Amino acid sequence: MSKITFIGAGSLVFTKNLVRDLLTFPAFEDCTLTLLDVDEERLGYAKQAVENIIAAGSYPAKVEATMDRAKALTDANGVVCTILVADLPVWRTDMEIPKKYGVDINIGDTRGPAGIFRFLRTVPVMLDICRDIERYCPDAVFLNYSNPMAMLCRAMQGETKVNVTGLCHSVQGTAAMLAKWIGAPMGEITYKCAGINHQAFYLEYKWNGKDAIPLIRDAILNKPEIYNEEQVRNEMFLHLDYYVTESSGHNSEYNAWFRKRPDLIEKYCTHGTGWNPGEHALPIKNVEKRRSDWKNRLIEWRDSPIDLGRGNEYASYIFNAVFGDGTLFQFNGNVRNLGLIDNVPPGACVEVPVLASRQGFSPIHMGPLPDQLALLVNISARCEELAVEGALTGDPRKIFHAICFDPLTSAVLSLAEIKSMVDEMFAANRDWLPQFKHFS
C-alpha cells in the first residue's frame, strides 16, 4: 500500500483532479491519501471531496486529513505540493508597486520583480518542507506545482537531497492546442521541447512523423481567429521560428517586446491573451471577489459531478512509474542543467524531457538551443540564478541586480528607478522575508 501526501490540499480543484487520476491506476486503488493544509476549514472540504471520489469509484483507498506536517509526511512514497505563501494583501503589492513605476505585469507568479518577490516569500517554506521530507520520508518522490517553478526547484535541488522535480501544464497543454489548430489527433503528435519553465520551445513538432511546423505557420497566417487567440505567442513564433509553451499572458511579461508601452499593450496584450477580452493586467477586483466567495466556491467544487476518467496531468503517471506498476513515463520536468542544454548556464533550472522509472528520474540531453532562443532564455535563467543566490545568502543587492536585468523592467525603467521600486517592494514584504537582515 502506497501513501501519497498532498501539501496545500485546500487547493481543492487540483487535489480532486489528481486524486481522481491516481485512483485510476490499479497500483493505487488501495493507497492512503493524506491531506495537509494550514487552513482547517479548507482541509475539511478537501477531505469530503476525496471521500466522494473514493465512494463514487468504490475504491478501497482511505483518506486522512491533518495539520501536522510530520504526521503527513511520515513514510510517504509520494508528495505533491501546491502551496501559496501569503495572501492577497501582500501578493497584490507584487503587481501594484511595479505598476506604479510603469512596469505593467500581467500575472507575476514566475519571474521578473513580482515573481522574484513571490519566490523570496516561498523559498524558506519550501526548504523547510524538503528538510522534513529528508527526515520523515527520504526516499519519497516530491512533485512541486507551486510557482515560481524554476527558482523554487533550483533552490530545492541545490540545497537538499530530496528527489524533487517541478511540473507545469503548459507543455502538454500547448501541444494539444497546436494539434487542434492543424486538425491533428493528439495521439498522432510527437514533439521535442526544451528551455526553461514557461519559456520552453518545441524544437520538433511532428504529425505522424512529418514536420508539422509549416502547418502551424500556415494556420496562424491564414486564420485570423487562430492568430488572435494567442497574439503574443504567435508573434514570437512568426519572428523566432519556434513555438513557446506558456500562454501569451505570461510570455508578454517575460520579454521586452510587448508590454513596455500602452499602445503595445493595447495591440498585443489586451485582446489576444487566450483569456477574456480586456484581461491584459491582473484583475485584482476579480481576485478579491473570488477570495470573498471562497467558501461557496469550495462547496460547489466539492459537490460537483464526479468524472472518474483519467486526466492528462503528469503526477499520477510519474508516481505509477516510480513506485506503482513501473510503466515507464516520459514528461517535461524542471531539473538542474547538468549537461542537458549546452548553451544555458550550467546548474540553472531547465525544463526538458525526463524519463520516470523504478530508478527515479533520468533527464534527457537536448544539445544546444537555437541561438535566438538561447539569447532569450539565458537572460531569464541568469536572473533566476542571481535571485536564488540572493535568497539563500540574504543579500538584497543580488535581488536588485537580478531585477535590473529582467527584460520588461529594464525596457521601462532606469537603474535608479529600479532601485526605488525594489526598495519599496522589500518594505512591503518585510514581515515575510526573515532571511534578509537589511534591504538597502
Cell of 146: 507551486
Query: Measured between alpha carbons, how far is 88 from 44 in angstroms, rounded to an integer?
Result: 22
Copy the grid coordinates of residue 196. Answer: 526553461
Q: Which residues lie below 8 Å from residue 125, measured CB to CB, with a gap of 6+?
A: 83, 85
Using DSSP, how many helices (H) and how many strands (E) does the chain show?
19, 12
State whether residue 360 is helix, strand or coil: strand
C-alpha cell at 151: 527558482
Confirm whether 401 is a catalytic residue: no
Residue 252: how many CB atoms within 10 A of its CB? 28
Q: Would you list the DSSP string of 265-287? A: IIIIISS-SSSSTT--S--HHHH
Q: What are phi and psi of 348, to 5 degrees?
A: -65, 160
Closest among 299, 193, 179, 313 to 246, alpha carbons compared: 193
CA–CA dist 259, 251 (Å, integer)? 10
Residue 188, number of CB atoms within 10 A of its CB: 12
Beta-sheet pairing, 62-66 with 78-81: unpaired
Contact (CB, 8 A) for 63 and 3: no
The three cell numbers of residue 227 are 492568430
In contact, 73 and 49? CB cutoff 8 Å: no
Q: Compute the distance between CA of residue 94 and CA of residue 142 in angstroms, rounded to an integer.
A: 28
What grid cell was written down for 363?
533527464
Q: Which of 9, 38, 106, 113 is nearest to 409 (CA)?
A: 113
Active-site pick, 169, 198, 250, 271: 169
Q: 113 with 399: CB under 8 angstroms?
A: no
Which positions are catalytic?
169
